[in-house]
């Protein structure tokens, strides 16, 4: 129908600490996008009472629960980034739950008349979610910048940061499979210009 709003969905991905949130912020602030961070949804689901909390405790044991009754995410992170079999198990459990949440969000956006929607999905290709999106954007940076950011953000040693980076799909492969590539070296203005260039001429 003429004048009908069409929901356009961008999947935003990239390696850990490559700066996906900066790109999502530009899309939200300057392009009117509605955004969803899948990592944030995961954090909510892992809170006591969340859909994944009891599943993790049953699998790993009560030693992953702190005295305050919440999951010790740093400990779980050490487990999954150093044990591929445990990482595979977590993905097999979490991804279907997260996919349902993502679909619910997209339905809500469609019903609200949104034009541009961005889902920030770190493991987009690993999860096989390509089918959800009209376009996939990959954010990348220099490896040393990625290591430095991750060490600072999560208070990690260099070796710990490298184990997390190496556990993910290589950034080069992510970029090869994406439709749009955004280079993020820390300059917010440069990121914004790349976002504008990628969306030039489009109306949502």
Banded pLDDT at 37 (limits 50, 70, 90)? very high
pTM for the structure as a whole:
0.93
> Domain with 14 in it: what CATH number?
3.40.50.300
Alpha carbon of 149 to those of 37, 110, 156: distances in Å?
Answer: 19, 35, 10
- Could you tell me the residue range of the domain that residue 133 belongs to? 9-198
Given a cut of 60, whether residue 146 has pLDDT beyond it is: yes
Q: What is the pLDDT of residues 39-58, one digit of tens each?
A: 999 999 999 999 999 999 99
Domain count across the chain: 1
Q: Tell whether 3 is covered by a domain.
A: no
Q: Tell whether 2 is covered by a domain.
A: no
Q: Tell whether 161 is covered by a domain.
A: yes
Q: Tell whether 157 is covered by a domain.
A: yes
| Mean pLDDT for the stretch of residues 158-169 | 94
Q: Looking at residue 204, what is its pLDDT?
A: 74
Farthest-apart Cα atoms in the chain, separation: 59
Banded pLDDT at 6 (limits 50, 70, 90)? confident
Q: Tell whether 81 is covered by a domain.
A: yes
Would you state the structure tokens that stand for residue 115, as one six-digit string? 């034009």
Q: Tell whether 41 is covered by a domain.
A: yes
DSSP string, the chain: -TT----EEEEEEESTTS-HHHHHHHHHHHH--EEEEHHHHHHHHTSTTSTTHHHHHHHH-GGGB-TTSSB-HHHHHHHHHH-HHHHHHHHHHHHHHHHHHHHHHHHHHHHHT-SEEEEE-TTHHHHT-GGG-SEEEEEE--HHHHHHHHHHHHT--HHHHHHHHHTSPPHHHHHHH-SEEEE-SS-HHHHHHHHHHHHTT---
Q: Looking at residue 154, what is its pLDDT?
A: 93
Q: Tell whether 42 is covered by a domain.
A: yes
Question: Is the pLDDT higher at 203 or at 170?
Answer: 170
The fraction of the chain above a pLDDT of 90, given in percent, is 90
Q: Looking at residue 3, what is its pLDDT?
A: 46
Q: Looking at residue 178, what is its pLDDT?
A: 98
Given a cut of 70, whether residue 4 has pLDDT beyond it is: no
Q: Tell whether 93 is covered by a domain.
A: yes
């Amino acid at each position: 129908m003429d004048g009908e709003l069409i929901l356009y969905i961008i999947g935003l991905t990239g390696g850990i600490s490559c700066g996906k949130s900066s790109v999502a912020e530009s899309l939200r602030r300057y392009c009117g996008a509605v955004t969803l961070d899948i990592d944030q949804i995961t954090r909510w689901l892992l809170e006591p009472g969340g859909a994944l909390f009891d599943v993790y405790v049953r699998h790993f044991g009560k030693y992953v629960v702190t005295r305050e009754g919440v999951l010790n995410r740093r400990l779980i992170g050490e487990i999954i980034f150093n044990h591929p079999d445990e990482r595979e198990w977590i993905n097999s459990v979490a991804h279907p739950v997260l996919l349902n949440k993502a679909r619910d969000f997209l339905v809500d956006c469609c019903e609200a008349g949104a034009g541009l929607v961005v889902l920030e999905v770190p493991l987009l290709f690993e999860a096989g979610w390509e089918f959800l999106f009209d376009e996939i954007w990959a954010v990348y940076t220099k490896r040393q910048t990625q290591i430095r950011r991750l060490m600072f953000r999560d208070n990690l040693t260099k070796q710990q940061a490298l184990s997390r980076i190496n556990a993910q799909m290589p950034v080069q492969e992510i970029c090869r499979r994406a439709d749009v590539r955004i280079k993020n070296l820390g300059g917010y203005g440069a990121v914004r210009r790349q976002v504008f260039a990628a969306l030039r001429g489009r109306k949502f």
